[in-house]
Homo-oligomer: A and B are copies of this chain.
Amino acid sequence: MNKHAIAVIPGDGIGQEVVPEALKVLETAAQIHGGIAFEWTTFPWGCEYYLQHETMMPSDGIETLKSFEQIFLGAVGMPGLVPDHISLGGLLLKIRQELEQSINVRPAKLLCGMKSPLADPQSFDILVVRENSEGEYSDVGGRVHNGPDEMALQTSVFTRKACARVMEYALSVAQRRRRHVTSATKSNGLAHSMPFWDDVFRDVSQAYPDIQTTSMHIDALAALFVMKPHVLDVVVASNLFGDILSDIGGAIMGSIGIAPAANLNVERKYPSMFEPVHGSAPDIAGKGIANPIGQIWTAKMMLDFLGYEDIASVVLYGIEETLVENVKTADLGGSATMTEVTERVIAHMKAAAK
């Protein structure tokens, strides 16, 4: 029996509802597999916690998380009540940073049973691999002057170490996929950061002669996600470019509400964090109608990272069968409740395991 100690942070809004659903799916996966035992420890951190304690998590929160193997997060945010920079900076971005989760991975895959907003999508299956620790998000900058002369500077920092790390990850993932990596650049507009990014990509690729590589400007690449997503396999991108591309990826999949994400510490020195792309959706929270698929697909990504790729694919099978039989929540145009969706996913997983 392989034991896995997982820190669970349901967070705010629908996060508190969909996380327990995904845990049911993970328990089912463990049961089917036979050799996995999960140990869940739930932390009530987030905006509610903040309203009571004036901090999103206790001061030893990061230390506490370090003792777990992985982190399973729901959603964080109470727009209007807690300013974004607190809810993000005090939890999500803090964990990403302090636990050195320097790679963010988001699939954009057209699932069976999903309706893409694209007219005639050939089936596509893209993996957006995003640098998650520096680049455009580097907290370097400030303002000078007041009044009409005021200006703001923001500096992107790109290190060879971080660029190479995310590119190596992308290239090695591509070896188990369709062996093609597209690097997002903008060397014709950002004349310092992006030519550097391109140089590192060229250098790193040399060690992967079996992988076909392409560099594309972010503007053209964003358009390609809409025009011909099926030609893409793995896409490697800087922090900002990856953020934008993975949201377009969510859109062409038919809904950002089903998209999963992983923040990886690939060195496995600290826990990685798995979180759906969607937010806390306070407007529909507590009604039992939230779509659990984003969180369940996120659970699938955690299984992959734990090394259980077979059972992970059973979870994805369960999701797709449920979508195909049109058991969907309202956001996908259906009338099923959250629990009904989860139950069908679990039923399909069990049926597949027989």
Chain A residues in contact with chain B, CB under 8 A? 84-85, 88, 115-120, 136-137, 139-143, 147-161, 186-197, 218-220, 222-224, 226-227, 239-240, 243-244, 246-248, 250-252, 256
A119-B118, A159-B151 known; A190+B240 contact, CB < 8 A = yes
State in angstroms the CA–CA spacing of A191 and B85 once bound together.
9
Number of copies: 2
State in angstroms the CA–CA spacing of A321 and B198 once bound together.
44
Q: Is the CB of B192 within 8 A of A143?
A: yes
In the complex formed, the residue of B with least CB distance to A197 is: B152
Q: Give, as a whole number of angstroms, the nearest-CB distance from A204 to chain B.
A: 12
Q: Give, as a whole number of angstroms, the nearest-CB distance from A70 to chain B.
A: 24
Q: Is the CB of A139 within 8 A of B88?
A: no
- The contact of A193 among B154, B157, B159, B195, by CB within 8 Å, is B154
State in angstroms the CA–CA spacing of A188 and B118 once bound together.
29
Please, which residues of chain B bring their CB within 8 A of the CB of A240? Answer: 186, 189-190, 218
State in angstroms the CA–CA spacing of A194 and B84 once bound together.
13
Known interface pairs A85-B191, A119-B120; 9 further A-B residue pairs with C-beta atoms within 8 A, sorted by A's residue number: A84-B187, A88-B188, A149-B159, A149-B161, A152-B158, A218-B243, A219-B247, A223-B247, A226-B226
Q: Is the CB of B243 within 8 A of A219?
A: yes
- The contact of A188 among B85, B161, B195, by CB within 8 Å, is B85
Could you name 13 residue pairs across A and B whose Cβ atoms are closer than 8 Å?
A85-B188, A88-B188, A137-B190, A148-B160, A150-B160, A152-B192, A152-B196, A154-B156, A155-B155, A222-B247, A223-B248, A223-B251, A248-B248
